[in-house]
Amino acid sequence: MPPPPPPPEAAGNFDPGPPASPPPAPQFPATVVPPQVTQLETQDFGVIPTETLRPGQFHAPTPILIPGAQVVSTQALADALNSGMRVVLIDVLGGSYSLPGALMAPALAQGGHFQDRLQQQAGQWLGQVTGGDASLPVILYCSDPMCWLSYNAALRVVAAGYTNVYWYRGGLHAWQMAGLQLVPAGF
pLDDT in tens, 80-92: 999 999 999 999 9
- CATH label, 61-184, candidates 3.40.250.10, 3.30.70.520, 3.40.190.10, 3.50.50.60: 3.40.250.10
Flag whether pLDDT at 133 surpasses 60. yes
Q: What's the pTM value of the predicted model, to 2 decimals?
A: 0.85
CA separation (Å) from 111 to 52, 102, 103, 118, 132? 9, 22, 20, 9, 24
Give me the residue spans of the domains in the chain: 61-184
Flag whether pLDDT at 178 surpasses 50. yes
pLDDT reported for residue 181 = 93
**Cβ atoms within 10 Å, residue 107:** 20
Return the SS3 of 160. coil
Reported as a pLDDT band with limits 50, 70 and 90, residue 2 is very low
| Cβ 110 vs Cβ 92: under 8 Å | no
Reported as a pLDDT band with limits 50, 70 and 90, residue 116 is very high
- pLDDT, tens digit, for every residue of 6-64? 433 333 444 555 555 555 555 555 678 999 999 999 999 999 999 999 999 999 999 99
Flag whether pLDDT at 111 surpasses 90. yes
User: What region does 71 belong to: left with phi over 0, alpha with psi -120 to 50, or beta?
Assistant: beta
Mean pLDDT score across all residues of the chain: 88
